[in-house]
Every structure is written in C-alpha cells, then in structure tokens.
Amino acid sequence: MYSKILVPIDLSDVGHGKEIFRIAEKLLEPGGTITVLNVVEDIPGYVAAELPDAVVKDLSANAHTALEEATYGAGGNVKLEVRRGSPASAIVAAAEQLEVDLIIIASHSPGLADYFLGSTASRVVRHAKCPVLVDR
Ligand code: ADP
C-alpha cells in the first residue's frame, strides 16, 4: 500500500488514464492521496504566434476540465494538477516535489503496442527516484 500516488494522464489516452487511476485507488492506503497530473506541452513560440491568445491560455483550463471528467465520482483524497513543460521532466519533478511513494504510468499510446515503452514512460522509469508501476 502507498500513501501518496502520482497518476500522470495523457489526454489523448484518457481510457488508459482511467484504468491506471483505478489501480491507484486500489493501492492507496486509507488516508492517502492520489495526485492526477496532466502536463501541457509548451507550444513553440513560432506556433503560438499563429494562434489566438485565448487558445494558448485555455490549454491548461481545458486540461483541468478533462482531468475532472476522467476522475468523476472520485473521493476528496484526489487532487488534480496541470503543469506545463516537457511531460517526462514535469512528471519526475512533480513526483519529487509532492514526495510521492509511487508513480503509476501507462506503457505507451494506443496504436504503439509494438513498443515496450513509450518515450515519456521510459524517461520516467529511468529518472524517477521512487518506484514506478508501468501498466500495459
Ligand atoms: P508514447 O510515446 O507511445 O506516446 P508515452 O510514453 O508518451 O507513450 O505515454 C505513456 C504514458 O505516459 C501515458 O499514458 C501517461 O500515463 C504518461 N504521459 C504521457 N504524456 C503525458 C502528459 N502530457 N501528461 C501526463 N502524462 C503523460
């Protein structure tokens, strides 16, 4: 059992995100906390310049709403967090700052099942300082 679990969800694969969230609920100690995280990737300046300001600003708000939908019905021990940056680095940094004792991550995007691990998952496994459970 674990007291602080981090569940990074890729919004292009919410189905698998919900599955890893359910695993976290099963592995959580009573009184523990699950943080569900989405990392909004930084848009290169030359792309952002072509987009309306509102679209760029709304990315984090939309991500938060998508996490609320993915965790609908969850208890008060679930926190939602949206960070910006590179997904793997932001996930590892969040795990350290929140002092989690487990990260649960999906192995790869749907359609890439021939790969053992996706690029984000493999970087998190390599760099995290806490245990990482990879769900296939
Ligand atoms: P692939 O390289 O096949 O797209 P990834 O390694 O990027 O696979 O994704 C595997 C898992 O990593 C996702 O299901 C999710 O758990 C996590 N992940 C990937 N990108 C993000 C992101 N932007 N925010 C939060 N978690 C992410």
- Interval 96-127: pLDDT, tens: 999 999 999 999 877 766 668 899 999 999 99
Ligand 1 in reach of 126 Cβ (< 6 A): no
Beta-bridged to residue 33, according to DSSP, are 4
Ligand 1 atom, smallest distance to 39 CA: 24
- Nearest C-alpha to atom 23 of ligand 1 is from which residue? 39
- Would you list the domain boundaries of the chain? 2-105
Distance 6 CA to ligand 1 centre (A): 13
User: Cα–Cα distances in Å, from 24 out to 63, 78, 110?
Assistant: 20, 10, 20
CB 21 within 8 A of CB 7: yes
Candidates 80, 120, 127: which one to mutate for ligand 1, based on the most atoms within 8 Å of Cβ?
A: 120
- Interval 50-62: pLDDT, tens: 888 777 778 889 9
Q: How far apart are CA 21 and CA 52, in angstroms?
A: 33
Ligand 1 in reach of 134 Cβ (< 6 A): no
pLDDT for 55 equals 78
Distance 35 CA to ligand 1 centre (A): 16
Residue among 54, 41, 51 nearest 82 (CA)? 41
Q: Name the CATH code of domain 2-105 (choices 3.40.50.620, 3.50.50.60, 2.60.260.20, 3.30.540.10).
A: 3.40.50.620
Per-residue pLDDT, averaged over 30-41, amounts to 96
